[in-house]
Structure 1
Amino acid sequence: MLNKLYDWVDERLDITPIWRDIADHEVPEHVNPAHHFSAFVYCFGGLTFFITVIQILSGMFLTMYYVPDIENAWQSVYYLQNEVAFGEIVRGMHHWGASLVVVMIFLHTLRVFFTGSYKKPRELNWVVGVMLFGVILGLSFTGYLLPWDMKALFATKVGIEIAASVPLIGGMIKVLLAGDSTILGAQTLTRFFAIHVFFLPAALLGLLAAHFIMIRRQGISGPL
């Protein structure tokens, strides 16, 4: 059945060359765990992407129930976790995945640095990777406030004050994140929700596309 569907689509769109270009490429021997035990360090990038996909899918589910206003945000999270079927599992995946993806991208960045994979001709890909790291951290920071409990409120307040201490642009960053009010309120929650759900994911997808295109063109970097 799937073969017939593939043939039907391929006959109309000629997708086989595209699929072969993506999937059929040599994997260097030094990233094969069967030949080199240290090859597992080359898995950090793929694991980061895998967890990112889980974060996107679970986040899409959470937005079906989350209400981004200060009157109903906490109640909507409580309802999702305690009343919705499998809601606690999905929220748990998103919660722990948010921490795990930061750990994995950090390990991936360390691997790239210590194996010298940021050097010519991969300098631009290193820049894109660092930007991806920043976007992931931004997603973690903006998502922390969304449950709208006391822990999230005070932690976010500290984070905004740290951002406000940046020379020259600190005040603008604070207004961007918190709004015009001097206290965290409805504007803050709405802005964090918009940044977390729309702006940063758009940047994430664009940077991931650029990252993968460059990896495909340049290939996997060699060993240390």
Structure 2
Amino acid sequence: MLQRLYDWVDERVDITPLWRDIADHEVPEHVNPAHHFSAFVYCFGGLTFFITVIQILSGMFLTMYYVPDIENAWKSVYYLQREVAYGQIVRGMHHWGASLVIVMLFLHTLRVFFQGAYKKPRELNWVIGVLLFFVMLGLGFTGYLLPWDNKAYFATQVGLEIAAATPFIGDAIRTLLAGDPSIVGAQTLTRFFAIHVFFLPAALFGLMAFHFILIRKQGISGPL
């Protein structure tokens, strides 16, 4: 059945050459754990991508129930955890995945740095990777407020004060993020939700696509 469906699609859009170009790409021997134990460090990038996919899918599910206003934000999260089937599991995956993806991305960055994989001709990909790191940090920061509980509220206040301490543009950054610069309130929650769900994911998808294209073009870096 699946083969017939594939043949039907392939006959019309000719996807086989594209699929073979992706699937038949050779992987260097030094990244094969069966041959080199140190090859496990090359898994950090793939694991980061895998967790990111889980974050995207679980986040899409959460938005089906989440209400981004100060009257109903916490209530919607409570309802999701207590009343929705498997809601607590999905939210738990998204909650812990937000920390785990930062850890894996940090380990991947360390691997690239200490193995010198940022050197010519991969300087641009290193810059893109650093930008991806900051986007992930932004996703973590903006998502932290969304449950609208006491811990999220006061932690966001601290984060906004840190942003406001940026020389020259600090006040502008705080106003952009918080809406009302004097208080963390309804405008802040709405803006954080929009940044978390629309703006940062758009940047994430674009940077990831560019990152993978360059990896495909330049290949995996050599061993230490």
* Fold shared per TM-score above 0.5: yes
SS of structure 1 residue aligned to 2:67: coil
Give the AA of the match of 1:193.
F
Q: Which residue of 1 aligns with 2:59?
A: 59
Find the counterpart in structure 1 of residue 71 from structure 2: 71
Alignment match, 1:188: 188
CA contact (8 A) 2:135 2:204 kept: yes
Residues 128-180 of structure 1 show CA distances to partners (whole Å, capped at 9, x for unaligned) of: 00000000000000000000000000000000000000001101100011013
Runs of 4+ in 1 over 4 A off after TM superposition: none
Q: Compute the TM-score of the two structures, normalised by the length of structure 2.
A: 0.99
CA distance in 2, matches of 1:203, 1:110: 23
1:169 aligns with 2:169: yes
Aligned AA (1:74): W
Taking the aligned partners of 1:169 and 1:7, their CA distance within structure 2 comes to 56
| Sequence identity (%) | 84
Q: Partner of 2:83 in structure 1?
A: 83
Count, aligned residues: 224
CA distance in 1, matches of 2:151, 2:208: 32
What is the root-mean-square deviation of aligned Cα atoms in Å?
Answer: 0.5
Match in the other structure for 2:107: 107
**Whole-Å Cα distance in 1 between the matches of residues 22 and 219 of structure 2?**
12
Determine the structure 2 residue equivalent to 1:133: 133
In structure 1, the residue matched to 2:50 is 50
Q: Which amino acid aligns with 2:190?
A: T
Distance in 2, matches of 1:134 and 1:193, equals 17
What's the TM-score, normalizing by structure 1? 0.99
Structure 1: tracts of 5 or more residues without a match: none
Q: Does the 8 A contact of 2:68 with 2:193 survive in 1?
A: yes
Equivalent in the alignment of 1:219: 219
Read off the aligned partner of 2:41 and give its amino acid letter: V
Indicate the residue corresponding to 2:18 in structure 1: 18
- Give the distance between the partners of 1:146 and 1:30, measured in 2 at CA: 43
For residues 23 and 195 of structure 1, the distance between their equivalents in structure 2, rounded to whole angstroms, comes to: 35
How far apart are the structure 1 equivalents of 2:181 and 2:70? 14
Question: Which residue matches 1:143?
Answer: 143
Aligned-residue offset at 1:36: 0.2
Q: Match for 1:7: what amino acid?
A: D
- Give per-residue Cα distances to partners, 1:84-116, cap 9 Å, x unaligned: 000000000000000000000000000000000
Residue of structure 1 in register with 2:31 after alignment: 31
| CA deviation string 1:178-218 (max 9, x = no partner) | 01340100000000000000000000000000000000000
Q: Which runs of 5+ in 2 are unaligned?
A: none
- How far apart are residue 22 of structure 1 and its match? 1.3
Distance 2:181 2:172 in 1: 13
Q: Partner letter of residue 2 of structure 1? A: L
